[in-house]
Amino acid sequence: MMGNVWEWTADWYAEPLVEKKARGGCCIPADPRGPTRQESLDPLSATPRKVLKGGSHLCAPSYRQRYRPAARHAQTVVSSTSHIGFRCVVRSRG
């Protein structure tokens, strides 16, 4: 599911929160949809950030640890590069 560009997702980015799970619980109690646009603001520039996943054709071999679907990092919404893309999903009715 990974290609030659970082995948720009619809999710807003925020630093992960460390939360305590309920005793015996298996799931993190936070909303799985993630943060809001306001929570994603870069503290230095007040610019909203989206989640990037995957890897890019421009990544150095030492950076390949992030070549996995679960890897995520922030990207401001006002930047553009040749190594960021997105994936379209078509859902069938039924």
Q: Give the pair of three-digit tokens for residue 81.
A: 């590069």
Claim: this prediction has a pTM higher than 0.85: no
Provide the edge-to-edge strand list for the sheet that holds 84-85. Answer: 68-76, 49-54, 6-12, 84-85
pLDDT tens-digit profile of 18-70?
A: 655 556 556 555 555 678 899 889 888 889 999 888 777 777 666 655 566 67
CA angle 22, 35, 69 (to 5 degrees): 85
Q: CB count, 10 Å around CB of 83?
A: 13
CA angle 1, 61, 84 (to 5 degrees): 45
Q: Which residue has the tokens 């807003």?
A: 12
